[in-house]
Amino acid sequence: MTTSLSAVIRDPAAPYSIEVVELGAPGPGEALVRVVATGFCHTDLIGRSGLLGEQFLPAILGHEGAGIVEQTGPGVTSVEVGDHVVLSFDSCGACPSCVSGHPTDCAAFEARNLMGLTPDGRRTARDADGNPVTNRWFGQSSFGQYALATERNMVKVSKDVPLQKLGPLGCGVQTGAGAVLNEMRLSAGQSIAVFGVGAVGLSAIMAAKLSGAVDIVAVDLNAERRALALELGATRVVDGAAEDLVAQVVADTGGLDFSFDTTGVGAVMANTLRVLRRPGRSVLVGSGMDAFSVHPSELTGKHVTFCHEGAAVPQIFIPRLIDLWRNGLFPFDTMITEYDLADISKAEADAVAGTAVKPVIIMP
């Protein structure tokens, strides 16, 4: 057993509780990771929302961890004790999608990432009273000093890269950049509109700039976010509250090649189709409960899809992003604000309020 100081959610309406929990030993295909830092992602709000059922709580959340392997379970060969790793989403490795190199389309994606349990339905953490705590959120639950991860969601990285910066690559940054580079495969000279420029949207903007997009439109309600989008590569910005929003986004272009939604808001998702030229492609990634409705004729010559985790293979894509960062081409770290674990509730509040683009929790 390993003792970990972790942030626990017990009540959807209450702040995080910093508690000592006990983690079991890593099982087959698993590893114990000493967490250095973990990004806070808006998807963590789903974990604390109560939408996953009463049985989900209490739970340790966090799914953008970065740390050092301390112990490996039976059968683990891709990492060893002392390796530096970024933790990303989990996948089964055996379904047709995984075998063909598309782990984001894993048949068990939701079960392995959103239930907070091991694949055989167990919780492997206990609180001070010996009661079980959900601890496999996205196969890691990394809001704590230690996390149990799987070989499938660990990405070995160079030891000369600061782990304090790398956690967000495991989900939010990977989702935004991957949507552009892997799912859209945007080419030089093309155009894109990004709706919602938090960490995911800004990552998409940086990737679009890398790809040579000539028109990168950032749409957001927050003026400071729109200004940051211009710094990171947007060519123009539009206030998300504008009455003639679609007209402003389209301007004199006749429509854009791609659009990207991070908000999960029904009306916004519908507008991602309305700003496209023919042919055009809309990619949605926003987590929420909204649906959206358009007339079938609005789909003429257009395509829309929802994409998990930037359609990435983390073990390939995350090192690629690190190399781009090292060469000054992908400054994702400019979005980061650091918080101590004790201040995780403030980090969450700042993320919700939009005063911090990408909070990163530093572990004691």
What tens digit of pLDDT does each residue of 278-291 get? 999 999 999 888 99
Contact 77, 93 (CB under 8 A): no
pLDDT number for residue 285: 97
pLDDT number for residue 286: 92
pLDDT number for residue 133: 97
pLDDT of residue 53 exceeding 90? no
pLDDT number for residue 350: 97
pLDDT of residue 179 exceeding 90? yes
Q: Which two tokens stand for residue 202?
A: 């800004």
Please give the Cα distance from 255 to 247 (Å, whole number). 9
The reported pTM is 0.96
Domains contained in the chain, CATH given: 2-170+331-362 (3.90.180.10), 176-309 (3.40.50.720)
User: For residue 75, how many C-alpha atoms fall within 13 Å in the half-sphere facing its CB?
Assistant: 8
- Tens-place pLDDT, residues 105-121: 999 999 999 999 999 99
Q: What percent of the chain has pLDDT over 90?
A: 98
pLDDT of residue 35 exceeding 90? yes
The candidate with the shortest Cα–Cα distance to 3, out of 24, 17, 30, is: 24
pLDDT of residue 186 exceeding 90? yes
Amino acid at 309: E
pLDDT number for residue 245: 98
